[in-house]
Structure 1
Amino acid sequence: MSDVTIYHNPACGTSRNALALIRHAGIEPIVIEYLRTPPSKEVLRAIVQATGQPVRALLREKGTPYAELGLGDPAWSDEQLLEFIVQHPVLMNRPVVVTPLGTALCRPSEAVLALLPVRKLPAFRKEDGELVEDDGIRRGGQA
């Protein structure tokens, strides 16, 4: 079983590139297509806690009902925001990657390198042709 999990949206280029980078490292992750299999509120809470970021960092505005739901209002509590993500999984920003080295929202996709145990990957070309060169330094995500 893999120690790497990616909360993935196959329609998202950043998510596809992060998944490809993980596989480029020789790791076959657990892939959770969170729009098909949304995480529970408890799982979301654990993800947020593991990233060390506020719940709002996990919210996606573009292409979601964020504005229609009034989620820009700072009065919403973290618990309420988590409930909105449960009800509307498209609000979850992606990709989120969980490894033994940490948990992070991997935007840009090469942020996943900090979470991988493999040292100094060969160069990788993203879908758009951008070259990603791994410096081999693992800064780690939030554990």
Structure 2
Amino acid sequence: MTDIIIYHNPDCETSRNTLAMIRNAGVEPHVVEYLKTPPSRPLLMHLIERAGITPRQLLREKGTPYAQRGLGDERLTDTALVDAMMAHPILINRPLVVTPLGVRLCRPSEAVLDILPTPQQGAFAKEDGERVVGADGNRIPSP
């Protein structure tokens, strides 16, 4: 059994597509609805480090208090950005996926394919109809 965790927002199409691709690999992940159960500060810092990104790269702008909080200010420290994400979990971009092969912010959703330890079990198309995996279970190259 492969242990996979997805920090998920069911209202987000990208997050739903990512979850569906994990399931298309024959894996039922541990789903953490991070808006209901936000990660602790140490866990969030660990996820950021393992994903090889900065807090700014994890920061979500759309549909959040990003602008109202002045988070576009490049002078803000990583600590200040993480403080904002802890105070307003909606600022955490999603989905974050943890697998035995690494941690990835899966934007676009097919980025999850790079860290799934098991292959896709068949064709997969995103909710918008874009085909990303063929019937053979292999990734379809982007045009």
- Same fold judged by TM-score > 0.5? yes
1-10 vs 17-26, which moves further: 1-10
Paired with 1:82 and 1:44, the residues of 2 have a C-alpha distance of 8
**Cα-to-partner distance string for 1:10-64 (whole Å, 9 max, x where unaligned):** 0000000000000010101010000000111111100100011111110000000
TM-score normalised by the chain length of structure 2: 0.90
Counterpart residue number, 1:49: 49
Change (3 A) 1:94 1:42: same
Unaligned runs of 5+ in 1: 137-143
Paired with 1:57 and 1:91, the residues of 2 have a C-alpha distance of 11
Contact (CA 8 Å) 2:7, 2:31: kept in 1 or not?
yes
Counterpart residue number, 1:25: 25
- What's the C-alpha RMSD, in Å, of the aligned pairs? 1.4
Residue 129 (structure 1) shift: 1.1
Paired with 2:84 and 2:23, the residues of 1 have a C-alpha distance of 32
Residue 135 (structure 1) shift: 3.7
Paired with 1:50 and 1:102, the residues of 2 have a C-alpha distance of 7
Paired with 2:82 and 2:109, the residues of 1 have a C-alpha distance of 24
Counterpart residue number, 2:6: 6
Counterpart residue number, 1:77: 77
Q: Post-superposition, which runs of at least 4 consecutive aligned residues in structure 1 deviate over 3 A?
A: none
Unaligned runs of 5+ in 2: none
Identity %: 57
The DSSP-based 3-state class of the residue aligned with 2:42 is helix
Paired with 1:60 and 1:20, the residues of 2 have a C-alpha distance of 22
Counterpart residue number, 1:141: none
Residue 8 (structure 1) shift: 0.1
Residue 119 (structure 1) shift: 2.9
Residue 120 (structure 1) shift: 5.1
Paired with 1:74 and 1:120, the residues of 2 have a C-alpha distance of 40
Contact (CA 8 Å) 2:25, 2:120: kept in 1 or not?
no
**Cα-to-partner distance string for 1:113-143 (whole Å, 9 max, x where unaligned):** 001011354220111111112546xxxxxxx
Contact (CA 8 Å) 1:2, 1:30: kept in 2 or not?
no
Q: Does 1:58 align with 2:55?
A: no
